[in-house]
Amino acid sequence: MHEAKQAQNITVLGAGAWGTAVAIALAARHDVRLWGRNPNQMKASADAGENPAYLPGFPFPAGLQVTADFEQALAHVTGAGAGAGATPLLIAACPVAGLRPLLEQLKGRPIPNIVWLCKGFEYDTGLLPHQVVRAVLGDGVAGAALSGPSFAQEVARGLPCALTVASETGELRERVVSLVHGNNIRVYACNDMVGVEVGGAVKNILAIATGAADGLGLGLNARAALITRGLAEITRLGLALGGQAGTFMGLTGMGDLILTCTGDLSRNRRVGLALAQGKPLDTIVKELGHVAEGVPCAKAVRDLSTRLGVDMPITHAVAGVLFDGDSAPDMVARLLARDPRNELA
């Protein structure tokens, strides 16, 4: 019941690694436009038939066209551009910091729906992505979060992965499943947008912690402990914000946490490894060359957890290293010095 009957128009706004990977995967079955705001980058991508800046080595399929023309990209999924009887899809593939500016460009336009891929909290407001969407676009536009354990390179290569789409609108959930599910991508649906977004955000912070622990040579036991206790932190915050407990045991909770904490393709894990070497944060970010959402998210979540009274010791320890001048060994000592407590409390 979830197989799309025919190719549909899809526009992906954001030509970073993840947006490009999703566009490549969907273009195997659909007519996809990939928009990026940098004309030089998009021209280089069109000329090379791949994204040399963010995802080199993965050729664009025939169903994918790239553009820096925002109006052209949007027309592909709105009005006459979408075609009669179509069920087009608009996907926002920008980082969290770019979500509000992108939505402002869409405000007042007849967009059919919007699906976002970003994971995190808006840094200055502490809002989750769906709250930012609602604040800018209002309640009249159906929205969904598409999240889960997924590295861009593996998705672009066509390797198997499983994702979750969360929306309050059942029709949009079914539409996303219909269009995205297939070709080694499995998509599950749920209505817990808060839980899905909290899991996708906080796991990046915990990946920094596990990367630092691995970089310090603390062993696999320590890694397992951090992941497990990290899941408890995700759950506590998610429940405080109105999420459903079961969500955190699924793909966007435990699944994404395990991948990001252990996978060598994880940018946030690499931040932790570099912190263990004593590198300053500015140098790490510059060398990374991509957005590591766990860095700004750590500050936003620390502030939010303090305001809500939610116990998140790993998050606070990571934020101490990133922003307060603590060292990675200081972080470990701080965590080990905590008083014992009931595990499930």
pLDDT band at 336 (very low <50, low <70, confident <90, very high): confident
| Single-letter amino acid, residue 299 | K
Task: Please tell me whether residues 32 and 99 are part of one structural domain.
Answer: yes
Which pLDDT score, from 0 to 100, does residue 196 have? Answer: 98
Give the three-class secondary structure for 157. helix
Domain count of the fold of the chain: 2
The strand pairing partners of 33, in sequence order, are 11, 65
Q: Which of 169, 191, 213 lies at the terminal end of a domain, its last residue?
A: 191
Yes or no: say if 92 and 20 are a contact pair by the CB < 8 Å rule: no
- The predicted-structure confidence for 163-196, as pLDDT tens digits, reads as follows 999 999 999 999 999 999 998 999 999 999 999 9
The pTM (predicted TM-score) of the whole model is 0.94
Could you tell me the residue range of the domain that residue 237 belongs to?
A: 201-336
Could you give the percent of the chain with pLDDT greater than 70? Answer: 96
Task: Please tell me whether residues 73 and 99 are part of one structural domain.
Answer: yes
- The predicted-structure confidence for 244-295, as pLDDT tens digits, reads as follows 999 999 999 999 999 999 999 999 999 999 999 999 999 999 998 877 899 9
Residue 110 lies in a domain: yes
- The predicted-structure confidence for 125-148, as pLDDT tens digits, reads as follows 999 999 999 999 998 899 999 999
Which pLDDT score, from 0 to 100, does residue 340 have? Answer: 83
Looking at every residue in the chain, the average pLDDT score rounds to 93
Which pLDDT score, from 0 to 100, does residue 292 have? Answer: 87
Residue 1 lies in a domain: no
Residue 4 lies in a domain: no
- The predicted-structure confidence for 24-70, as pLDDT tens digits, reads as follows 999 999 999 999 999 999 999 999 999 999 999 999 999 999 999 99
- Active-site positions read 203
Task: Please tell me whether residues 114 and 211 are part of one structural domain.
Answer: no
CATH code assigned at 87: 3.40.50.720
324 pLDDT above the threshold of 60: yes
Task: Please tell me whether residues 75 and 216 are part of one structural domain.
Answer: no
Yes or no: say if 206 and 253 are a contact pair by the CB < 8 Å rule: no
Q: Provide the token pair at 338.
A: 């905590």
In sequence order, the 6+-apart residues with CB closer than 8 A to the CB of 176 are: 89, 115, 144, 146, 165, 167, 187, 189
